[in-house]
Structure 1
Amino acid sequence: MSAAGGGNAIWGRAEQQDFRSRVRGCLLGGAIGDALGSGAAHASLDALRQAHGAEGLTDYAVVFEQRGAITDATQLTLFTVDGLIRAQVRRDTGAWHPPTDLYRAYRRWAVTQHDWGPDERRTDDGWLAREEWLYARRDPARECLSGLGDGVMGTLDAPRNPQANGGGAVMRSAPFGLLVGWEPQLVFQLAVECAAQTHGHPTGYLAAGALAVITHSLARGEDLDSAVQKALAHLATRPGHDETTDALKRALGAVRQGMPTPARVEALGEGGHAGSALAIAVYCALVAEDIRHGLLLAVNHGGASDLTGAMCGNLLGTLHGETALPPVWLVELEGRATVLQLADDFAMEMTQGPALHGPGNSAPGWLARYPRA
């Protein structure tokens, strides 16, 4: 593939198929990890073992009155993808500021947290915001609600919630890494700028950039260890990186300490801040025998299991593609059809965008789904 930023790549058929599989794997894997983790979130390991047996949680639990229910981690990840597609479409107008397009997408998510359902009068919202199942509160981070609640967009110079170092921004940032035609430093920068819209502490936004760069390397066919090293190199250039860098280095060190155990996962910090949450996801992906093993390791601890499960699923799904995902978890996943549709739309935009829209001529159906306004 020859790529030069944002959708003007020249793709062969096999490369298109591989990319679509990785995009599907990233989004579906993240949603599966989120849904698994929602059944374990903030329960102690002892409590999980008492409730589910010696191995802890091994399957979906009933959460939000159903099995396979996703949380705000998946909701926001989907709106990240929506915003990235909209940014590409708006580029035809000469307007090119992706952080603004992502902010508008996150504001569309914020509407789903207080409205009963989609408002058909908002014709510029696009198709994702009209998905009724997304109009549900799934324990959203208060920083996401406050950062997106008043119409003032945070920036790196004036970030929202400057003390917020939790995982509410990093959990939605894997899709930035699917911009495989971009250079990694641009992927890192975009993820960081968009994370600062809700999480203004350096750990809160730099961990988002690190996840994006790791995902970017995996989507390009690199191995996970090399991807983490690349993220560490990008982090080293940024003020305030120490907490995230140290967490990732502890994850790499834990891999060399022997067989993976829940105790080693919990020693990484239980996802208490964005850096430690990312470290757990990375560690579990590095030691995973397969996706099932990695995800169960990522959710059986006493911390933010939905968050760490989602990110581990993003990484393993991007690394191995959709066909490696456990079908028994796919069939019960809430919103699977929506996730698949969005994944395929994103893959089509990135590989065949010029055939769908341009300054002079565009497919009306595409602009109805992803309006320029």
Structure 2
Amino acid sequence: MTGTDGGAETGPAGVTAIWGRAEQQDFRSRVRGCLLGGAVGDALGAGVEFDSLDAIRAAHGPQGVTDYVTAYGRRGAVTDDTQMTLFTVDGLIRAHVRRDTGAWHPPTDVHAAYRRWAATQRDWGPDERREEDGWLAREEWLYARRAPGNACLTGLADDRMGTLENPKNPGSKGCGTVMRSAPFGLLVGWEPQLVFQLAVECAAQTHGHPTGCLAAGAFATIVHGLARGESLDAAVQRTLVQLATRPGHEETTEALKHALGAVRQGMPSPERVAALGEGWTAEEALAMGVYCALVAEDVRHGLLLAVNHGGDSDSTGSICGNLLGAIHGETALPPAWVAELEGRSTILELADDFAMEMTQGPALHGPAGASSAWLSRYPRA
């Protein structure tokens, strides 16, 4: 990033990115697009997540779902996919703020954020949240169970953090790693291999199977390329090169190659999406989301393609939405869907905070002083 009249972000490799004002605005739009797009895709799939394609068509017509359908008592409701994604963002901001103290271990901060999410799945509300939990954990609407994956719940049931050497649920490769990992890719001041590694290490906190971890790393790296202005095809190709160096990459690599191959096989259709899998496992959800984003005529077309299949529709919709939002920014999202989206104001507030931390963090906190309002939102504890 080059420019003037902007802030600076220093990545863990010590490389400082200088942000011009136009670059800051572009980055904020991509962050907003990525988080809102993922939530919109999640909400579109939420009401049909466990239905077959035949059942979806019988209930909603030959085109399947073409708009939000009621889920969890309302239209536009999001699931655990969006909930966990938001807490990933929260953990990454907290990691950057805590660096002022000399502590720099982002997986620990992300794990603490995931533990705050886990509390929303068992507590009635935010009444017992402490000041050091920050503002996101006090958002009452997040205290709702939306079909969370068992591996996410059991992996975060105690305070031991899973690591690559000693992961939680070592046999699990569910898509719960991928659907929450887009925010790692928004660390545009980091080198791609570090983004990949962080996503992999944080995936091991709940899903220890190599495919579960590597698919999360691959997704984060693809988003990273998009946030830096690469095309989706180029970002996938670059990610495949990085995957090839990792033991146990074969399932994730093959899934992404199948997604690329499907693009050349003819007009996109639900049946072609279904040929890539059902999306319950990490590599299948990644491949399906990537394929739908690659063939999307526009955001609406891509998202509807991503949710109209007999599998994990909310996760594949979320992944596709993260990708399309990172490519096009938030103004490309269908406004009626954004307007009806549950938690929209929280998502936008968090997106803007993340963009501000990444581009203007040194003006918010540092050895010489800090904004008390910022530290109240993102405590160093």
Q: Which range, TM-score by smaller chain? A: over 0.9
Partner of 1:150: 158
Partner of 2:201: 193
Partner of 1:344: 352
Pairwise CA distance, 1:262: 0.6
Residue 5, structure 1, aligned to residue 14, structure 2: no
Pairwise CA distance, 1:119: 3.1
Partner Cα separation in structure 2 for residue 121 and residue 180 of structure 1? 32
Partner of 2:326: 318
Query: Partner amino acid for 2:365?
Result: H
Partner of 2:175: 167
Partner of 2:235: 227
Partner Cα separation in structure 1 for residue 306 and residue 93 of structure 2? 30
After superposition, give the CA deviation of every residue in 1:39-96 in whole Å (9 maximum; x if it has no partner).
Answer: 1212111111100001001111100000000000000000000000000000000000
Partner of 1:284: 292
Q: 1:240 aligns with which of 243, 248, 254?
A: 248
Partner Cα separation in structure 1 for residue 109 and residue 367 of structure 2? 18
Map 1:52-131 onto structure 2 (within 5 A). 52-120=60-128, 122-131=130-139
Partner of 1:51: 59
Partner of 2:187: 179
Map 1:23-42 onto structure 2 (within 5 A). 23-42=31-50
Which segments of 5 or more consecutive residues in structure 1 lack a partner in the other structure?
none
Partner Cα separation in structure 2 for residue 254 and residue 154 of structure 1? 35
TM-score (norm 2): 0.97
Q: 2:129, 2:138 within 8 Å by CA — same for their partners in 1?
A: no
Partner Cα separation in structure 2 for residue 367 and residue 272 of structure 1? 38
Partner of 1:275: 283
Q: 1:112, 1:136 within 8 Å by CA — same for their partners in 2?
A: yes
Partner Cα separation in structure 1 for residue 49 and residue 107 of structure 2? 30
Q: 1:300 aligns with which of 295, 308, 322?
A: 308
Partner of 2:6: none
Pairwise CA distance, 1:295: 0.3
Pairwise CA distance, 1:359: 1.8
Pairwise CA distance, 1:9: 2.4
Partner of 2:28: 20
**Cα distance change of structure 1 residues 200 and 322 upon mapping to structure 2, 3 Å threshold:** same
Partner Cα separation in structure 2 for residue 17 and residue 312 of structure 1? 23
Q: 1:8, 1:353 within 8 Å by CA — same for their partners in 2?
A: no
Q: 1:8, 1:354 within 8 Å by CA — same for their partners in 2?
A: no
Q: 1:247, 1:275 within 8 Å by CA — same for their partners in 2?
A: yes
Partner Cα separation in structure 2 for residue 174 and residue 106 of structure 1? 15
SS at match of 1:171: coil
Residue 207, structure 1, aligned to residue 198, structure 2: no
Pairwise CA distance, 1:318: 0.1
Partner of 1:329: 337
Q: 1:141 aligns with which of 137, 140, 149?
A: 149
Which segments of 5 or more consecutive residues in structure 2 lack a partner in the other structure?
3-8
Pairwise CA distance, 1:8: 4.5
After superposition, give the CA deviation of every residue in 1:277-323 in whole Å (9 maximum; x if it has no partner).
Answer: 10000000000000000000000000000000000000000000000
Query: Partner amino acid for 2:309?
Result: H
Identity %: 75
Partner Cα separation in structure 2 for residue 71 and residue 13 of structure 1? 34
Regions of 4+ moved over 2 Å: 6-9
Pairwise CA distance, 1:121: 5.4
Query: Partner amino acid for 2:236?
Result: V
Query: Partner amino acid for 1:277?
Result: A
SS at match of 1:345: helix
SS at match of 1:9: strand
Q: 2:260, 2:291 within 8 Å by CA — same for their partners in 1?
A: yes
Aligned residues: 373
Query: Partner amino acid for 1:131?
Result: E
Pairwise CA distance, 1:120: 4.9
